[in-house]
Amino acid sequence: MPDIVLATLNARYAHAALGLRYLRANLGELHGRSVIREFVIGQKTEELVEKLLADQPRILGLGVYIWNVEQSARLVAQLKLVAPDIVVVLGGPEVSHEPELQPICLQADYVISGWGDLSFARLARQILSGEAPPEKLIQGEQPPLAALAMPYAEYTDEDVSRRYIYVEASRGCPFKCEFCLSALDKTAWPFALDPFLAELEQLYSRGVRQFKFVDRTFNLKIDVSLAILEFFLARIEAAPEDPPFVHFELIPDHLPERLKSAISRFPAGTLQFEMGIQTFDPEVQARISRRQKNHLAEDNLRWLRSHSKAHLHVDLIAGLPGENLASFAAGFDRLVALGPHEIQLGILKRLRGAPIARHTRDFDLRFAPDPPYQILTTNCLDFQTLQRVSRFARYWDLIANSGRFKQTLPWLLGASPFERFMAFADWLYASTGQTHALAHDRLVHLLQEFMRMQLAAPAEAELALIDDYRSAGGRSRLSFEAADVVLPPPRKRQSGSTPARQARHLAG
């Protein structure tokens, strides 16, 4: 039986916790006395406790995040009732700040704030040797990255075959955007390039084809970025029939020609960029300490859309201090005109420890008291308006980001994308009272009804909707189709490394 269990609750099974793997890789002589146990939020708490008790651990190290803190708190509370001798050690961003305010921290034996790679191992040795420290709150040590053992051998064969593989070429961030915990970092720290590429080679040789880089600023150091891109290009050229799919987060206003040259060589379905615009409003940008040259960001997005085959995922945030609905709508329309494949509309959240809290009084920021601490009202956006924007974001994900309505979307949006889609979102919610459990077939009929009744859309729009439905695999007879239409055969399931949603955007 292991003495140490490292556990967390992931948002989905396909996600694999990189943090747990760093902890286990750096346990040294305790490595063989430890195991990783990953669960998924929504599983019954009693079942999780039962599974943990089956290992009979002496120490439980639990990774706590904004998406799992509520269920993790229930887990720790139950575990402490039925097995009080198990030493519970918490870590992760959610408990690294304001631990004195959190019930889960009161229930636990120890809380490690910040970096836990080496600090957890040191604490585990003390506990197992009978020399547990008296202090409950432990400030994590930030060692040089060269002192860390790499975590990638901790990915199992099951991980390789069935889950996303997370990797990082650097930690930290040099920017100070106040809505983000990375604003607390002093800079970005790169891992040594050659050892990191050797780890990528090991993963690739094991069959990994989906890599998600968690670096905040992948294109900060262009020489390093190019070396990593060339690593993947070499493998694509060697085996184009079995390409990888690689995800990076880019600084939107930093795309020099050398990087463009490498990006342009990637074939469709192999490269995804996530880029945080967040807001186009210069005053809001300055207020939240976000340095961004908007004209360069726009130029780079246009270039990527026109000269690369990368899938582009771009973020906007609603509810930032001082931004009203008109400003947010203008930024949304400006981004739609640039044509990214997906626009992720986030609602501002108060991450524990993030500097955004300093604006609370001046802009009357009121956040929900429970995770994910979403903004409820500001002095520029009242509660009802933010609720509408939240539904807008949900429906946008279902319609636009899903890639299922590529031909229909231009008819729906017209020349005023935010205004038109907000009208649709308001109508859809009034008609259904739902933001979830809207099946594909039902969405198609609702879209057709809205465009016919509210927009007086021409017959071509209806034909585009039918074609989108069939292209996305729809096989039912739609109520507005001709009665003698021949239904298509079942659509073959997608194969390959490109995720389905990205593949839909890139098709055709």
Q: What is the pLDDT of residue 493?
A: 66
| Residue 372: cis peptide before it, omega within 30 degrees of 0 | yes
The CA R_g of the chain, rounded to the nearest whole Å, is 24
Residue 493's Cβ-count burial label (10 Å; 0-12, 13-18, 19+) is exposed
Residue whose entry in the numeric block shows the structure tokens 């609370």? 360
With a cut of 80, say whether residue 350 has pLDDT above it. yes
Residue whose entry in the numeric block shows the structure tokens 């294109």? 219
| CA–CA separation, 37 and 47 (whole Å) | 13
Fold of 4-144: Rossmann fold (3.40.50)
360-377 average pLDDT score: 97
Q: What is the pLDDT of residue 127?
A: 98
Residue pair 169/229 in contact (Cβ under 8 Å)? The answer is no
155-184 average pLDDT score: 95
Q: What is the pLDDT of residue 490?
A: 67
Q: Give per-residue burial for 326-342: e unless 16+ CB within 10 Å, then b.
A: ebbbebbbbbbebebbb
Question: What does the pLDDT look like over 77-95, one tens digit per residue?
Answer: 999 999 999 999 999 999 9
With a cut of 70, say whether residue 508 has pLDDT above it. no
What's the whole-number average pLDDT of the chain?
96
**Which H/E stretch holds residue 441?**
helix 440-453
Q: What is the pLDDT of residue 252?
A: 96
User: 427 in the Ramachandran plot: left (φ > 0), alpha (ψ -120 to 50) or beta?
Assistant: alpha
Angle at which helix 417-432 crosses helix 383-396, to 10 degrees, equals 90
With a cut of 90, say whether residue 140 has pLDDT above it. yes
- What are the sequence ranges of the domains in the chain? 4-144, 164-380, 382-508
User: Could you tell me the pTM of the whole model?
Assistant: 0.94
Q: Give per-residue burial for 17-36: e unless 16+ CB within 10 Å, then b.
A: bbbbbbbbbbbeebeebbeb
Check: CATH 3.40.109.10 for 164-380?
no
Q: What is the pLDDT of residue 78?
A: 98
With a cut of 70, say whether residue 118 has pLDDT above it. yes
